């Protein structure tokens, strides 16, 4: 059964299933590790930290969902993570019997903490930080509970500058054995009685030479390691025997949680163990003091959280025990899933989330009803946390399928609309309007080239109009002729100012090309987030940039900072040659109004790491050639040699278009091509250094004309013995400044006709040009271009590269001529975005920074000083 469906059969659970859209989370993003289970999670305002089975801690940027860095140092699986917010510290515990402390700001190692008896403590399963006493509690495999106090920052600073082993300890006392500033004399570690043991029949004591641990390639201890025991300097501390309760349980201490806010003002520590019990400890100045013990009979206590006087304990075999501390009683047993271990529990307000060994997550209300159930991981759901982002909350889950899933959690009372006819941009949280709206935009397959998707295109236009209206624009749909997709017109009206408001026209297209499923790693029409990228057809071409511009205008409008009118004109036929676009714009020119500048965002950078501005596009002429004998298809064995074959004529004609140097033979074709300037040459040399591609290659692709033969179609079945009666060919020309479009069209058709006539063939030829677009070249000295360039530099911290594109956007030069103003082209995508290809994607960083660049640009161009410079 699908994990998102509710079973129609009676459930053995004591709770009622009340699942509804209001409680189901939305998968915002996936973070993928490299073949390693996600055993532990923690988060700060900036980062998500994931502890992995392969010994590392991965640090993910919380805003962009990209990998920031990897923290290395442990020699065992990272079993627990804990954040000390007031210290900006991250604690990590491991199967290597160490606790490491990292700075959450610099992401550098600070301390290494070794438990009492060091390796004999075994795996360190759980951590809890108590801010009031600056104490870290550690739950150990050897059943001991240990703790260490970091009570004096001054003492730590003093200790870090000293190499004397008798320096002051963090507890403020002189304890030679507590502070260890250097590795052990052998440069490694003590022998572990299990991991460094010999076969029992050898009757030998454990030592490091047993080599029973399997080091990871390149890791510390491996033959190819370039590191000593510690990869970077860190203070070493050891827990004294006085800070140990052994045994604290009669089983491994798998989990711990703090209880604060109780009536008597005493902070308590709850520990859960493999002995099927929970112990409650008072946190006193001299250490924990046992107050009460709960004993269950439902297997090991594997996970635990607390709120107020209530403890929720996830157990083996699928149970959650709910314990009331005031009465010291078990008040509820929740059957999460019979026989399936509950490995992690998280709380948000009054709701509980349980993660189970079958990969499922369930959401439970304050009355212990299951209100949501979904399959979160393809394997085991091992870890989870709830973290805040903006005004919303995320549930973060980790599994043994090497993935971390980010779930946007709606409050239980919120109603979420998924109706495309009545779209709500304010879905799971209002903080992610851009990405949420994009997920809805992409979900409608607006493929303009497929007749079966014609209604989908119309519904996309309707959805977009309503969505832009929700963002604050005045909207309308403009017809483009019978059978064609409508234009979406949306105007964000700026605040009244003491001078004439400028008007910027943004042009984009909501239609996309087809997306055959072959080659895709996810559904092309479902936005899928992974490692900082959003995948889906149209996310970069051109739905993502459209919404980024709209959200930029909406944000300025909300802050009463939009000082100009932004007119958005979005068509639905761009991928099919902008059918009906020009006529519709002319017809509705009054509704569109006057325009001072045109903004476009419909291409990508030249690399993945340098922002760009596009200032040139080549034009295009698409030509169809048909040669027909007016005879039916013939058998080559019977008629071969007796007829002039159309295919032979076609091959000869196409071959005549270029010479042996691949130069186009059309008379006068190169005469008007603009000469390259010294300024351009310097630019191409710079781009060549950055891209590691020859400058000549960039010149050939961007500023020189070219010819392409696309395909040849034949009549008949296409068998090897058939002479086709007619043959069709498609060719195109890419043209550049200052070639005249109409002159090139005439020259091409004349050349084909005259050349074919010279063949003196009895076959007939027909030449038609079905699509053409002019070249476009922006002005680098235009104030509008400089304002955009400045906005990019301010947002990205570096000057954008000035690039051109070899492709064509027919509407850009046409709009420039129609409105008598300059066009600007701001690419938001990276070079690797796969536009028109499988796995099309866009970076979250680029999408959000693209939005920010547009905000800066609109603010700059509405300024009175800028307008004065334009008028001058």
Active site residues: 511, 574
CB of 705 closer than 8 Å to CB of 669: yes
**Rounded CA gap, 506 and 545, in Å?**
10
Query: C-alpha angle with apex 789: 823 to 562, nearest 5 degrees?
Result: 75
E strand spans, 746-796: 764-773, 776-777
Query: C-alpha angle with apex 21: 19 to 24, nearest 5 degrees?
Result: 70
Query: C-alpha angle with apex 706: 702 to 711, nearest 5 degrees?
Result: 125
CA 277 to chain centroid, in Å, comes to: 42
Burial state string for 160-180 with b = 16 or more CB within 10 A and e = fewer than 16: beeeeeebbbbbeeebeebbe
| Residue 223 vs residues 189, 214, 406, 704, 749: alpha-carbon distances, Å | 16, 11, 38, 55, 70
| Residue 285 vs residues 151, 240, 516: alpha-carbon distances, Å | 12, 16, 66
Query: C-alpha angle with apex 635: 631 to 636, nearest 5 degrees?
Result: 105
**Rounded CA gap, 257 and 261, in Å?**
13
What is the chain's alpha carbon radius of gyration, rounded to the nearest angstrom? Answer: 34
Sequence-distant (≥ 6) Cβ neighbours of residue 583 within 8 angstroms:
480, 481
| Residue 452 vs residues 25, 351, 447, 478, 514: alpha-carbon distances, Å | 32, 45, 9, 22, 12
Q: Which helix (H) or strand (E) segment is 159 a member of?
A: helix 153-160
Q: Which residue, among 189, 190, 152, has the nearest Cα to 173 in the 3D structure?
A: 152
Q: What is the DSSP string of 62-113?
A: TTT--EEEEE---SS-EEEEEEEGGGTEEEEEETTS-EEEEETTT--EEEEE
Q: What is the DSSP string of 345-359?
A: EEEETTEEEEEETTS
Q: Which runs of consecutive H residues, i.e. helices, occur in 471-526?
A: none
Whose tokens are 């060549």? That residue is: 688
Q: Before 491, cis peptide (omega within 30)?
A: no
Query: In the numeric block, which tokens belong to residue 802?
Result: 């000035």
**Strand 89-94 relative to strand 78-84, pairing:** antiparallel
**Rounded CA gap, 487 and 570, in Å?**
6
**Rounded CA gap, 561 and 710, in Å?**
49
E strand spans, 629-785: 634-635, 706-714, 722-723, 726-735, 764-773, 776-777
Query: C-alpha angle with apex 567: 563 to 570, nearest 5 degrees?
Result: 150
Q: Which residue, among 413, 410, 431, has the nearest Cα to 353 in the 3D structure?
A: 410
Q: Which helix (H) or strand (E) segment is 662 a member of?
A: none
**Rounded CA gap, 609 and 646, in Å?**
50
**Rounded CA gap, 101 and 107, in Å?**
10
Q: What is the DSSP letter of 243?
A: G
Sequence-distant (≥ 6) Cβ neighbours of residue 273 within 8 angstroms:
143, 248, 249, 250, 251, 252, 253, 254, 279, 300, 301
**Strand 235-238 relative to strand 244-245, pairing:** unpaired
């Amino acid at each position: 059964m699908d994990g998102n469906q509710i079973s129609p059969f009676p459930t053995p659970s004591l709770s009622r299933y009340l699942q509804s859209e209001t409680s189901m989370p939305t998968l915002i993003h996936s973070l993928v590790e490299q073949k390693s289970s996600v055993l532990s999670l923690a988060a700060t305002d900036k980062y998500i930290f994931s502890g992995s089975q392969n010994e590392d801690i991965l640090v993910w940027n919380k805003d962009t969902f990209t990998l920031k860095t990897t923290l290395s140092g442990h020699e065992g699986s990272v079993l627990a993570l804990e954040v000390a917010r007031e210290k900006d510290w991250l604690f990590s515990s491991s199967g290597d019997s160490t606790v490491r402390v990292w700075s959450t700001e610099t992401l550098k190692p600070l301390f290494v903490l070794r438990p009492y008896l060091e390796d004999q403590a075994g795996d360190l399963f759980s951590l809890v930080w108590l801010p009031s006493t600056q104490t870290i509690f550690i739950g150990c495999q050897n059943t001991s509970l240990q703790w260490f106090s970091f009570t004096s920052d001054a003492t730590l600073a003093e200790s870090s500058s000293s190499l004397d082993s008798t320096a002051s300890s963090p507890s403020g006392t002189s304890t030679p054995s507590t502070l260890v500033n250097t590795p052990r004399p052998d440069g490694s570690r003590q022998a572990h009685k299990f991991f460094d043991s010999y076969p029992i029949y050898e009757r030998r004591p454990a030592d490091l030479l047993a080599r029973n641990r399997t080091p990871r390639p390149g890791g510390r201890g491996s033959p190819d390691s370039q590191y000593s025991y510690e990869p970077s300097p860190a203070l070493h501390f050891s827990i004294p025997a006085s800070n140990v309760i052994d045994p604290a349980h009669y089983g491994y201490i798998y989990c711990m949680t703090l209880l604060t806010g109780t009536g008597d003002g005493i902070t308590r520590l709850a520990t859960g163990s493999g002995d099927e019990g929970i112990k409650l400890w008072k946190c006193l100045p001299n250490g924990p003091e046992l107050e009460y013990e709960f004993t269950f009979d439902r297997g090991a206590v594997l996970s635990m959280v607390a709120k107020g006087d209530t403890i929720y304990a996830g157990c083996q075999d699928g149970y959650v025990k709910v314990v009331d501390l005031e009465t010291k009683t078990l008040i509820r047993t929740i059957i999460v899933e019979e026989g399936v271990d509950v490995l992690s529990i998280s709380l948000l307000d009054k709701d509980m989330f349980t993660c189970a060994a079958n990969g499922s997550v369930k959401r439970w209300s304050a009355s212990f009803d299951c209100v949501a159930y979904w399959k979160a991981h393809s394997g085991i759901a091992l870890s989870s946390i709830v973290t805040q982002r903006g005004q919303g909350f995320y549930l973060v889950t980790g599994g043994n399928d090497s993935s971390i899933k980010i779930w946007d959690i709606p409050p239980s009372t919120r109603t979420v609309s998924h109706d495309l006819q009545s779209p709500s941009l304010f879905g799971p949280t209002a903080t992610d309007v851009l990405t949420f709206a994009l997920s809805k935009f992409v979900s409608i397959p607006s493929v303009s080239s497929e007749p079966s998707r014609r209604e989908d295109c119309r519904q996309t236009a309707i959805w977009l109009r309503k969505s832009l209206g929700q963002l604050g624009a005045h909207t309308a749909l403009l017809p483009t002729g019978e059978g064609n997709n409508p234009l979406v017109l949306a105007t964000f009206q700026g605040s009244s100012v003491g001078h004439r408001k400028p008007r910027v026209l943004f042009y984009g297209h909501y239609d996309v090309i087809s997306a055959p499923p072959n080659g895709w790693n996810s559904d092309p029409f479902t936005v899928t987030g992974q490692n900082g990228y959003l995948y889906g057809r149209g996310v970069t071409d051109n739905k993502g940039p459209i919404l980024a511009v709209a959200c930029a205008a909406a944000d300025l409008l909300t802050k009463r900072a939009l000082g100009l009118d932004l007119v958005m004109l979005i068509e639905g036929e761009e991928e099919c040659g902008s059918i009906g676009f020009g006529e519709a714009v002319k017809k509705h020119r009054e509704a569109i109004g006057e325009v001072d500048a045109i903004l476009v965002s419909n291409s990508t950078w030249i690399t993945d790491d340098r922002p760009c501005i596009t200032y040139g596009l080549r034009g295009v002429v698409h030509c169809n050639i048909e040669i027909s004998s007016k005879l039916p298809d013939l058998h080559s064995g019977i008629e071969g040699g007796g007829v002039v074959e159309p295919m032979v004529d076609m091959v000869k004609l196409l071959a005549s278009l270029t010479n042996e140097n691949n130069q186009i033979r059309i008379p006068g074709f190169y005469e008007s091509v603009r000469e390259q300037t010294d300024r351009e040459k310097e630019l191409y040399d710079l781009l060549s250094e950055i891209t590691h591609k020859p400058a000549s290659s960039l010149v050939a692709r961007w500023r020189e004309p070219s010819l392409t033969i696309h395909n040849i179609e034949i009549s008949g079945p296409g068998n090897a013995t058939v002479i086709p009666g007619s043959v069709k060919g498609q060719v195109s020309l890419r043209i550049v400044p200052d070639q005249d479009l109409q002159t090139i069209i005439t020259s091409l058709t004349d050349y084909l006709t005259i050349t074919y006539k010279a063949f003196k063939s009895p076959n007939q030829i027909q030449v038609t040009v079905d699509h053409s677009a002019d070249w476009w070249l922006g002005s680098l000295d235009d104030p509008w271009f400089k304002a955009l360039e400045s906005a990019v530099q301010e947002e990205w911290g570096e000057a954008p590269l000035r690039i051109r594109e070899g492709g064509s956007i027919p509407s850009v030069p046409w709009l420039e001529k129609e409105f008598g103003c300059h066009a600007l082209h701001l690419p938001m995508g990276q070079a690797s975005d796969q536009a028109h290809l499988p796995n099309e994607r866009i970076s979250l960083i680029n999408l959000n920074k693209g939005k920010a660049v547009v905000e800066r640009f609109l603010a700059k161009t509405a300024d009175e000083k800028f307008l004065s410079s334009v008028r001058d």
